[in-house]
Amino acid sequence: MPPEEQSEQLRRLPAVDRLLRRPALASLLQSCPRQVVTGAARAVLGELRRELASGRRQEAPPLATIEAMVEGRVRQLVQPGLRRVINATGIVLHTNLGRAVLGSAAHEALALAAAGYTNLELDLATGERGSRQEHVARLLTWLTGAEAALVVNNNAAAVLLALHTLARGREVVVSRGQLVEIGGSFRIPEIMAASGARLVEVGTTNKTYLRDYEQAVSAETALLLRVHPSNFRLVGFTHEVGTAELVALGRRLGLPVMEDLGSGLLFDLGVPALAAEPVVCSSLAAGADIVTFSGDKLLGGPQAGIILGRERFLAPMRRNPLARALRPDKLSLAALEGTLRVYLDPEAAKRELPVLAALLLPPEELEARARRLCALVSRAAHGRAAVRVRAGHSEAGGGALPGVTLPTFLVEIRPQGLSVETLAARLRRSEPPLIARRLKGALALDVRTLLEGEEALVARILAACLEER
Ligand SMILES: *Cc1c(COP(=O)(O)O)cnc(C)c1O
């Protein structure tokens, strides 16, 4: 571009004052801090100036476009980024949608801890410094029979802390079939490398026998590790060594056995689809010395990593400086304590913890809810979509519970004169955003994950998105 043309384009960029008099920005100034609007205007103009000067942009955009750019920038700042969404996917533990929905006991505990001072680290009996771990450790040991408990930020941190404390610079023996990748971000081999422990893989991807572990043990071995392969399932011609068998070997060789259970099902819920999920109490009863799991998967609480087991192994973890870096905050601890207290009555836990309640919804109830929602949505659609109830399956948890599917009822929506992609995108941009499931040529709403009172809201959102032309 000739230099005179370039300076002409630069001159066309408006002054900040002129931009702020445009109607959309003038109206934003009524509700947003002035510094934010002027700051956004300066930032957008600065970027345009640099793009024009460097030749990456040939022409100054029209004033209305610049106005919209500034308005967009302001909205990004002043609107909450983390928002409530409606989960109509049927995936109870959806990592992208924040995994477990907390129960009311956890909400109450959270609100208390957030709004005021607490005895987080004060022993009220003695007036001395107390432990933030005490509040949840009491409940965890009572509920599971474990000798000791320690809570960190998430299960990845729990595995890291355990391996760093017990096996740094030494070897950990793991079955090759259990070297899992979870949600694309948790890989046992990488966590192990970060902990300084050396991985010794035994067996093949589908078969590992006790003798494989035995042959791999050397003077360098610190730990025998079992990992529950939560996000994929080996089917068919397989063999794995059970916890009790591995514990027997560990005892004979004088080596601790650790289990990373992942999902943290505290007790057997009697859901056939969860029959293959490991149960925390059973792993401890089988003799595992250290057990780790997440707080926000099947336990139904906040993000946390829970370590249970023998005090002899947990005490050095507490003293590890990493424990300070990985310690949970008061809000997580409050929500976890609130959740755990519900488990004191297992029947109450099944009713009151949203994760368990959603997994345990009986088919008749799901069908009745789907029929109610179908009637509301049909009416709202005004003939702009074909709406019907059909049977289907819910995935219990995207990456968290692979292969666990539960029968459910779906409200299927086939938009007329509108593509499924367009409708799905409009639903995502609604307020609140509605996340539906995609089928071939249709969208589906799985009632399993709709929360109380959301049905009418779903119908209203659909009406607006189908109407928009
Ligand atoms: C989910 C999972 C993890 C990671 O837990 P986060 O709480 O997400 O850090 C680790 N191990 C297993 C087996 C898991 O299923």
Cα→Cα distances 465→292, 375, 418, 420, 426, Å: 44, 17, 10, 11, 6
| Alpha carbon nearest to ligand 1 atom 6, residue | 155
> What's at 265, amino acid-wise?
L
pLDDT digits (tens, 9 = 90+) for 2-59: 888 888 999 999 999 999 999 999 999 999 999 999 999 999 999 999 999 999 999 9
Largest CA distance in the chain: 85
- Supply the DSSP string of 384-412, one letter for each residue: SEEEEEEEEEEEEETTTEEEEEEEEEEEE
Span 206-215, average pLDDT: 92
pLDDT bin (cut points 50, 70, 90) of residue 111 is very high
Domains and CATH numbers, the chain: 3-78 (no CATH), 86-94+359-467 (3.90.1150.180), 104-352 (3.40.640.10)
Counting ligand 1 atoms within 8 A of each CB, the residue from 96, 179, 259, 260 with the most, and so the one to mutate, is 260
d(CA 162, CA 290): 8
Q: Ligand 1 centre and the CA of 397: distance in Å?
A: 12
Q: Ligand 1 centre and the CA of 143: distance in Å?
A: 21
pLDDT digits (tens, 9 = 90+) for 416-459: 999 999 999 999 999 999 999 999 999 999 999 999 999 999 99
Q: Ligand 1 centre and the CA of 293: distance in Å?
A: 7
Identify the three-state secondary structure at position 83: coil
Counting ligand 1 atoms within 8 A of each CB, the residue from 94, 174, 186, 259 with the most, and so the one to mutate, is 186
Identify the three-state secondary structure at position 187: strand
pLDDT digits (tens, 9 = 90+) for 236-252: 567 889 999 999 999 99
In this structure, the residues whose C-beta lies within 6 A of any atom of ligand 1 are 154-156, 182, 186, 227-228, 230, 260, 262-263, 294, 305, 400
Res 273: pLDDT: 77
Q: Ligand 1 centre and the CA of 270: distance in Å?
A: 23
Is the pLDDT at 398 greater than 80? The verdict is no
pTM: 0.92
Residue 8: alpha-carbon gap to chain centroid = 51
